Structure 1
């Protein structure tokens, strides 16, 4: 009897081991199949249309996002593109789901309470402090439940003023893309997106209801995208109001019509991104600004920032003055015109009543690695009236910090990549010279691959 018990015990032990091995094999098989499925997915990014707006105090750009699910469809809202913002925020319905069931309006959002980690992290991190905002905010209480909300500060990119918002759990949806087509398949994203009062958006362009944070902050959009999507932002700002540009998130080829067989990545050069203390924005190193083979050297301690909310490139006075002198020297045959604020250098585009187009030498931003980002006439000369065009550079003053801020006018119809995986900035220079533009991505939806 004892021998039988020992034999049974061994058989039982081995059968358990065999069962565990079978479970492990099954799990590993599913993991392998899952990785194969991921590798075979026809999409490698999410894609958003980008619109230009000129009905605010300065030109701005928005991305179109699917938000609340109402009447069996997702509502589409425009969010200002801000590559400096730390969190997403918008005008939304802040309702606490009292019954913990389905929301009767299909548009409920859920507040983050003051006791949760994201609230503490955002409110206490020095990286989120801003000189425009008060150092502390007050708590408030959710109706019925008596729980404390999480008020946080954000900066309105139009007025550059502080806004107090309530941190929130949200749900957005994006269409997917392989860089050539846009699929009807959806990618769900569940970010901490703060709810702002409608009054804080009065300075925004019409039909723009929020701010899409695209910085390197862990609470910006990139922090919530699902794998296998890479943390790579491809941005192409349109120069016209009539046809949208495009924004990609994820590592993908990029194809613009009519060159449907040319990957735009073949046009790109790259330079390293530079980390800047207490900022989640994007900075690069600029050695000099070159105009017709003559370089204006940049001080070694000068920082250069990329901005999607400043319309024109801003140069600190000690950089602006020599750049303007050099530019005036190579354009001395063009009739000058009275300066048109905020521009200090303007030209006449009318000769004896006839309109003429200006063509000026390229302005090149030279980087420490020898790469150069070329700014052509389309991105350096702004037509401000029928008869006057101006050099689209602004004097930022003697104490301007950063010393250089590259604005959106210089980015239009340039394909730009902010690669957080490799900490690199990619730039194409003007796509117009390649006989295409940012408005030439095919945004027509095709049937889902599912």
Structure 2
């Protein structure tokens, strides 16, 4: 029987093996795979990565947002570089980004984030849901490639502002978008280096480092189950143009609840299931939440204690047993493509220890009119390997520890 420590070691071996395997052929200037280290901030529970950007290179800390459209960085403070290039209105980068706005006159001396005749996008803090306008531009960006590092000389990003840094982890100056757009980090790395159009995510439940892999990596140590990714025809971004599709990763087949809630409405974009690294915990539409809690309670058969926000179902930890997959509670299966394709959630990912004596089911009631019916949050993603394949439009997933 494996211990929690064994499971944690297994998780790190998965990430390390992928890194070593994909870095064996990095002698050329066109790597087959790239990697970013990710750690969990203990104060905010946000997932943080660090890149190097600008000339000379400067380390930049970013919150990882799996579904965001692009990388944005605060350009208002301590942004110094000699290699920044604004994206001029109607230029190829502007068309690639699908910008719908243009700054014709900037009322201050020219600098990154404020130059005349530059196209604009709308960087958003997806934790506070605050967005502002910001200029599109490019600068040098360096990413680790195993044996060394590689540089993208003209990596497109958006200049954000200080006001939208609110509630981000200490030292963070922006957010890294990994969504399905042509200027997200995956898309730009794929295009620049001609890599396989897929990336993998390993998030750790501890402050220790997880990883994000781009391009070619070996998942043989953790065989993956695959399910189709759907495109929501209506974006969930805070600011958008009419007809814009979502950049996030959705799966719209049935979990065992009302199927109508899990299909995506083509007119409103409501419904479906998506994966998020900025939501701390899985969020369920109210009727789904009630059904899950009811079934969970019946199976667990342990009396509830006073709720601890944001959770509704909490228990006396001393009355909940333990297993090598975490607390000894009923498993929860999110049935995806069919009854044979499901994401199994064990106690380590379903339960949250909120105090010495109280643990809660780590699912949150999203209300009766939630935009997305199921949002699989960070706590449930941890200790799983996820693979997003742009070409095949599939999600692959494999838990780091299974019975």
Q: Give your verdict on TM over 0.5.
A: yes
Could you tell me which residue of structure 2 aligns to residue 53 of structure 1?
A: 41
What are the residue-to-residue correspondences of 1:43-442 with 2, within 5 Å?
43-56=31-44, 59-70=45-56, 74-92=57-75, 106-119=81-94, 122=97, 124=99, 139-141=104-106, 143=109, 147-176=116-145, 182-188=146-152, 190-225=154-189, 226-241=192-207, 243-254=208-219, 263-264=220-221, 266-277=222-233, 278-289=245-256, 296=257, 298-299=259-260, 301=263, 302-332=271-301, 334-350=302-318, 358-369=327-338, 370-429=340-399, 431-433=400-402
Q: Tell me how far 1:206 sits from its aligned partner.
A: 0.7
Q: Is the 8 A contact 2:83 2:140 kept in 1?
A: no
CA pair 229-63 structure 1, distance change in 2 beyond 3 A? same
Name which of structure 1's ranges 339-348 and 154-163 shifts more when overlaid on structure 2: 154-163
Q: Where does structure 2 lack aligned partners over 5 or more consecutive residues?
A: 1-24, 234-244, 264-270
Superposed CA deviations along residues 239-279 of structure 1, whole A, max 9, x for unmatched, are 011x100000102215xxxxxxxx33x42110011111120
Q: Tell me how far 1:45 sits from its aligned partner.
A: 0.8
Could you tell me which residue of structure 2 aligns to residue 292 of structure 1?
A: none
Q: Tell me how far 1:432 sits from its aligned partner.
A: 3.4
Partner Cα distance (1:184, 1:153) in 2: 34
Partner Cα distance (2:116, 2:185) in 1: 27
Partner Cα distance (2:110, 2:372) in 1: 47
CA RMSD in angstroms, aligned pairs only:
3.0
* Corresponding residue SS for 1:233: strand
CA pair 189-79 structure 1, distance change in 2 beyond 3 A? farther
CA pair 245-340 structure 1, distance change in 2 beyond 3 A? same
CA pair 397-272 structure 1, distance change in 2 beyond 3 A? same
Partner Cα distance (1:43, 1:118) in 2: 24
Superposed CA deviations along residues 9-57 of structure 1, whole A, max 9, x for unmatched, are xxxxxxxxxxxxxxxxxxxxxxxxxxxx99988952100100112433x
Q: Tell me how far 1:297 sits from its aligned partner.
A: 5.4
Superposed CA deviations along residues 168-207 of structure 1, whole A, max 9, x for unmatched, are 112211111xxxxx21142436322111223321321012
Q: Is the 8 A contact 1:286 1:365 kept in 2?
A: no
Q: Tell me how far 1:365 sits from its aligned partner.
A: 0.9
Q: Where does structure 1 lack aligned partners over 5 or more consecutive residues?
A: 1-36, 97-104, 126-135, 177-181, 255-262, 290-295, 435-450
Partner Cα distance (2:110, 2:194) in 1: 41
CA pair 42-169 structure 1, distance change in 2 beyond 3 A? closer
Q: Tell me how far 1:78 sits from its aligned partner.
A: 1.7
Q: Is the 8 A contact 2:202 2:211 kept in 1?
A: yes
* Corresponding residue SS for 1:367: strand
CA pair 297-39 structure 1, distance change in 2 beyond 3 A? farther
Partner Cα distance (1:284, 1:81) in 2: 20
CA pair 189-317 structure 1, distance change in 2 beyond 3 A? farther
Q: Is the 8 A contact 2:52 2:58 kept in 1?
A: yes
Name which of structure 1's ranges 244-253 and 223-232 shifts more when overlaid on structure 2: 223-232
Q: Tell me how far 1:233 sits from its aligned partner.
A: 1.3
Partner Cα distance (2:30, 2:196) in 1: 15
* Corresponding residue SS for 2:94: helix
Q: Is the 8 A contact 2:349 2:380 kept in 1?
A: yes
Superposed CA deviations along residues 298-337 of structure 1, whole A, max 9, x for unmatched, are 43634111111111111111211111111000011x2321
Q: Tell me how far 1:421 sits from its aligned partner.
A: 1.3
